[in-house]
Amino acid sequence: MGYLLGCAYSAVDDDGNQEDGQGNQGIQYNHAYGIMDIRSALGLQLVRIRNPWGVGEWTGAFADEDEAWDDSKGLKEELNYQFEDDGTWWMKFDDWFANYNRVYVCKVFPAVWQQYSICGEWSGNAAGGSYPPLIDRDEASGGNVHFDTNDKWFNNPQYRLSVYKKTQVYISLMQEDEKISGRQYIPVNFLVVRVYSKKQRLWEVDKDDVVIEAADGLSRFAQREICVNCWLSPTYEKKPCHYIIVPNTEVDSKKDEERPFFLRIFTSEKSELLELPRTIEQNFLGKWAVTTAGGKRTLPTGSDNKYWCRNPQYFLNLKKPTHLKIILRKKGGKKIKGVNIGICVTKAFPPTAKPASKIKKDGVELSPAKGGATRLKGTGTRIGKTNNRGFKTTTVARRNFKEDNFPEIVPPELENLERKLQILPNEWYVESQFKSEDVASLYAYWKPTKGPFLMVPSLESPEVMAEYTLTVFSSNPVEIEKLEDSKNMVISGEWNEKSAGGCHLYDVNFEKNSDNFTWINNPKYLLNLHTTQKTEVKITLSRPEKSWKKKIAVSAVDCMIGFYVFPGNANPNTKDCRSEMNFVPMNEYSEVLELDGNPDGYIIMPTTYKPKLKGPFIISVSTDVEFSLNVQD
């Protein structure tokens, strides 16, 4: 077939190290020899070998000057062979088989084949390591809780191969020669994965799409080169397809992971190979501190965790449909024993009307057409609907519209950000499984109209403190902004037997003696603004829907909520109150007040309309200046 052949005798000691020396008939251990010729002559099967050193030859049967030549008259002439000290000799096939245990085949491809030769490197986040056990991603994507995705492998170098007819393909992954690099070989591998789009790198892999796993099972050992021979077609089940090749290391040590590699691809027919761009990475360092360690969104009982909103919060904006990996890692070597970590992602704003996002296509802003709908010429695509209050719905219908042509969405600016206090019933969210003490990861493919998004990293239990790194990998540039904890604070409270005082309206209507008023007994929180100037302050009172559902069903009016704000040096009274003293039948109520830098601060007093209604609540304060918020004794 025109291939180059070689052979060697591989010998190792008890420790696995290569042995030096030679056998008793001149064959060097762990030394490469060339196979020059294979012949049948005078009833003998013979192999001609060459030592590339040019000296040092076989001393067994049919060695130069060996008496076996005398027993086979005419053999030298048949082989056209001369005795010389040139490092070449003939030997019987049986002797060759007994003295060598390795054969090397160097394929030499016809000139009509295409060849690609790539010098790559596993380094930085591109040293993604091995793929975890493959699962059926279709089964892993249902419901609100998503299986944790692989957090490293997807960052390995990726190469897209396209073929246009059934094609024979050889793929070789090779490491640097250890005699040159001074580093021992490590186990390596590569996947060939079938894909149906040319636009993106692999972010997730379904086991049904894996065409080849090069080093499968017992072949996962340290060796210089692994290669496969396969046939690839341009279609699968009548759908056009392409193939992504992902080389990776199979070691856990970061020291061993980072090294160069050589990827060669040979195709019998016309093909196209493209190195896919790397992911875009953003990192954020943070910590769960005394005031920000809120715990998981729900308690083990299934009820809402009123402290969840304390966790650090990150706002995420997209301009194009984007693949994302959101990865949370506990920072530092000390393990949080028995406390797992996880991520929750939800909409940044509650499911109510919000200012319309501007839509651009080819850099041109589109305006609402008559009737409130925006249409793109020639696409038959309806991009949302604007109602009579100037707000835009979040539904986008698409038909016959390629991803690259999707209009650029200019999302709402991430400004005047406020802390999200709870995820309301029927509000969209996804969260990881909380299965590890060290890492949690979510994969998503989202469109801008689904956002903006809010990412909330948390520990499984509240009041546990630790540092973390939040990393977001994306296929397109995305905007991420962390909520400033010093300007957005929450505090959780509860109306109990002594503090469920109701509001002043209820007292006035049902109690004539002011000494018996109970509204002034409600919980009180001291707000101190770190400024002497007037500033706008947004105060929000929220209550967990699940905890109040039964009480609201009995009487929504009695369960109305509101709050009072009065100077810290004044006793609770309606005359000095700075808030509007409204009471609403909702689970969340906000007011924006203009407050000055009163050195005594301000008292915030949340209340229900009727007294003696016990249950949890949350107070949130947001402003442009730093402040403190504490329970007043």
Amino acid at 201: R
**Listed range (123-137, 272-286, 321-335, 394-408) with the worst mean pLDDT:** 394-408
The verdict on 85 and 224 lying in the same domain is no
Per-residue model confidence (pLDDT) at position 284: 96
β-pairing, 466-474 vs 280-288, is antiparallel
Q: Is the dihedral of CA 382, 383, 384, 387 positive or negative?
A: negative
Q: pLDDT tens digits for 520-566?
A: 999 999 999 999 899 999 999 999 888 899 999 999 999 999 999 99
Left if phi > 0, otherwise alpha if psi is -120 to 50, otherwise beta: which for 196? Answer: alpha
Listing DSSP states for 266-299 in one string gives EESS-EEEEEPPPPEEEEEEEEE-TTT----SB-
Per-residue model confidence (pLDDT) at position 332: 66
Query: Where residue 515 falls among pLDDT bands split at 50, 70, 90?
Result: low
Rounded-to-integer distance, Cα 243 and Cα 260, Å: 23
The verdict on 372 and 519 lying in the same domain is no
The verdict on 330 and 209 lying in the same domain is no
Per-residue model confidence (pLDDT) at position 379: 30
Q: pLDDT tens digits for 143-176?
A: 888 888 889 999 999 999 999 999 999 999 999 9
Rounded-to-integer distance, Cα 259 and Cα 111, Å: 31
Per-residue model confidence (pLDDT) at position 255: 64
Per-residue model confidence (pLDDT) at position 415: 72
Rounded-to-integer distance, Cα 121 and Cα 125, Å: 11
Give alpha helix (H) positions in 477-612.
Answer: 504-510, 545-554
Residue with tokens 């540092």: 467
Which range in 346-350, 405-409, 416-420, 469-473 is most confidently predicted, on average pLDDT?
469-473
The verdict on 255 and 284 lying in the same domain is no
Per-residue model confidence (pLDDT) at position 134: 61
Angle, vertex CA 249, rays to CA 247 and CA 252, nearest 5: 150
Instruction: Assign residue 177 the CATH number of its domain.
Output: 2.60.120.380
Per-residue model confidence (pLDDT) at position 437: 92
Rounded-to-integer distance, Cα 180 and Cα 389, Å: 71
Q: pLDDT tens digits for 597-622?
A: 889 999 999 999 999 999 999 999 99
Residue 179's φ and ψ, nearest 5 degrees, are -75, -25
Residue with tokens 């070689």: 6
The verdict on 291 and 433 lying in the same domain is yes
Point out the domain boundary residue: 443, 463, 483.
483
Per-residue model confidence (pLDDT) at position 206: 87
CA 170 to chain centre: 31
Q: What percent of the chain has pLDDT over 90?
A: 62
Q: pLDDT tens digits for 301-324?
A: 888 898 999 999 999 999 999 999
For the segment 2-6, the average pLDDT, to the nearest whole number, is 92
Given a cut of 50, whether residue 361 has pLDDT beyond it is no
Per-residue model confidence (pLDDT) at position 199: 80
The verdict on 469 and 524 lying in the same domain is no
CA distances from 472 to 104, 370, 459, 476, 480 (A): 45, 40, 18, 11, 9
Given a cut of 70, whether residue 409 has pLDDT beyond it is no
Q: How many domains does the chain have?
A: 5
For the segment 264-292, the average pLDDT, to the nearest whole number, is 95
Query: Where residue 252 falls among pLDDT bands split at 50, 70, 90?
Result: low
Rounded-to-integer distance, Cα 422 and Cα 306, Å: 8
Instruction: Assign residue 28 the CATH number of its domain.
Output: 3.90.70.10
Query: Where residue 366 falls among pLDDT bands split at 50, 70, 90?
Result: very low
- In this structure, are residues 487 and 623 in contact, taking their beta carbons and an 8 Å threshold? yes
Point out the domain boundary residue: 89, 106, 123.
106
Q: Which residues pair with 489 in a beta bridge?
A: 621
Which pTM value belongs to this model?
Answer: 0.76
Which residue range forms the structural domain that includes residue 554?
489-631
Amino acid at 499: S
Q: pLDDT tens digits for 98-157?
A: 999 999 998 889 999 999 999 999 998 899 998 877 665 555 555 888 888 889 999 999
Given a cut of 90, whether residue 424 has pLDDT beyond it is no
Query: Where residue 274 falls among pLDDT bands split at 50, 70, 90?
Result: very high
Per-residue model confidence (pLDDT) at position 271: 96
The verdict on 239 and 365 lying in the same domain is no
The verdict on 87 and 136 lying in the same domain is no
Rounded-to-integer distance, Cα 624 and Cα 536, Å: 8
Given a cut of 70, whether residue 378 has pLDDT beyond it is no
CA 99 to chain centre: 52
- In this structure, are residues 170 and 266 in contact, taking their beta carbons and an 8 Å threshold? yes
Is 153 strand, coil or helix?
helix
The torsion angle over the Cα atoms of residues 547, 548, 553 and 557, rounded to 10 degrees, is 180
The verdict on 527 and 599 lying in the same domain is yes
Say how many C-beta atoms besides its own lie within 10 A of residue 545's C-beta: 15
**Listed range (30-34, 67-71, 395-399, 479-483) with the worst mean pLDDT:** 395-399
Q: Is 600 exposed, middle or buried (0-12, 13-18, 19+ CB in 10 A)?
A: exposed
Point out the domain boundary residue: 275, 307, 327.
275
Given a cut of 90, whether residue 349 has pLDDT beyond it is no
Given a cut of 70, whether residue 580 has pLDDT beyond it is yes
For the segment 501-511, the average pLDDT, to the nearest whole number, is 82
Q: Write b or e for each residue in 361-395: b if 16 or more Cβ atoms lie within 10 A of its Cβ, otherwise e.
A: beeeeeebeeeeebebeeeebebbebeeeeebebe
CA 290 to chain centre: 28
The verdict on 337 and 367 lying in the same domain is no
The verdict on 495 and 599 lying in the same domain is yes
Q: pLDDT tens digits for 526-539?
A: 999 999 899 999 99
CA distances from 286 to 340, 483, 486 (A): 17, 11, 14
Given a cut of 60, whether residue 377 has pLDDT beyond it is no
The verdict on 335 and 466 lying in the same domain is yes
What average pLDDT is seen over the chain? 85
